[in-house]
């Protein structure tokens, strides 16, 4: 047998097989899906409230820790006299296992209602670390406390202010 003929036959056979396989190709459908989730919802469910305080004779510092609804006199001689003392609470809802970064302000001024007198609220703290994973349910709660500076001649009245907590969804 001529080796050239064998070579041509081999190519013809390979070409014929390729045609056979090409004719036997099957198209299969694929599927896909996606879920759109809200980027996250943050709500403030309780305010940071120092209750009622009698000023002392010197500058006083009152603290509410992020771990309990108690007021602590950390310096001076101001006297807490009741009222609704509470740490602030925030609830976060997002996709399960989302990584979040919580940022607190450094300080704010509380201003007396119907007046211009101020008190400094600083040293904001939260329970837990600033970087957290959302739980498998997509829900997370955290608490915020801080330190209030009450002057010895602080004018009587209701003092109010707003602070911003930023939750970044990573």
CA 98, 86, 112, 72 torsion: positive or negative? negative
Model pLDDT for residues 144-167, shown as the tens digit of each residue = 999 999 999 999 999 999 999 999
Distance between CA atoms of residues 150 and 78, nearest Å: 8
- Give how far Cα 117 sits from Cα of 39, 56, 70, 146, 165, Å: 39, 17, 25, 20, 24
Q: How do residues 50-89 score in pLDDT, each as one tens digit?
A: 999 999 999 999 999 999 999 999 999 999 999 999 999 9
Residue 161 to residue 121: CA distance in whole angstroms: 9
Topology of domain 41-169, CATH: Immunoglobulin-like (2.60.40)
Q: Hey, is 9 helix, strand or coil?
A: helix
Residue showing tokens 């940071």: 48
Task: Give yes or no for residue 3 having a pLDDT over 80.
Answer: no
End-to-end CA distance of the chain, in Å? 73
- Nearest Cα to Cα of residue 133 among 85, 170, 163, 91: 170
Please list the helix, strand and coil fractions of the chain in percent, rounded to the nearest 5, in that order: 10, 40, 45
Ranges of H-type helices in the chain: 3-23
- The model's pTM: 0.77
3-state class (DSSP) for residue 98 = coil
pLDDT tens-digit profile of 97-156?
Answer: 899 999 999 999 999 999 999 999 999 999 999 999 998 999 999 999 999 999 999 999
Structure tokens of 4? 């050239």
Per-position b or e across 70-88, b if 16+ CB within 10 A of its CB: ebebeebebebeeeebbbb
| 3 state SS of 145 | strand
Residue with tokens 């709660």: 141
Q: Where are the domains of the chain?
A: 41-169
């Amino acid at each position: 047998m001529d080796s050239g003929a064998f070579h041509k036959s081999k190519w013809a056979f390979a070409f014929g097989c390729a045609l056979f396989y090409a004719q036997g190709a099957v198209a299969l459908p694929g599927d896909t899906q996606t879920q759109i989730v809200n980027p996250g919802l943050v709500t403030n469910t309780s305010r940071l409230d120092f209750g009622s305080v009698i000023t002392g004779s010197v500058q006083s510092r009152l603290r509410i820790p992020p771990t309990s609804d108690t007021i602590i006199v950390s310096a001076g001689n101001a006297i807490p006299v009741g009222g609704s003392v509470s740490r602030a609470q925030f609830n976060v809802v997002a996709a399960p296992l989302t990584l979040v970064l919580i940022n607190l302000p450094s300080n704010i001024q509380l201003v007396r209602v119907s007046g211009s007198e101020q008190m400094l609220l600083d040293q904001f703290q939260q329970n837990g670390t600033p970087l957290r994973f959302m739980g498998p349910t997509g829900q997370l709660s955290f608490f915020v406390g801080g330190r209030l500076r009450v002057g010895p001649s602080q004018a009587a009245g209701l003092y109010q202010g707003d602070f911003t907590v930023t939750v970044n969804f990573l």
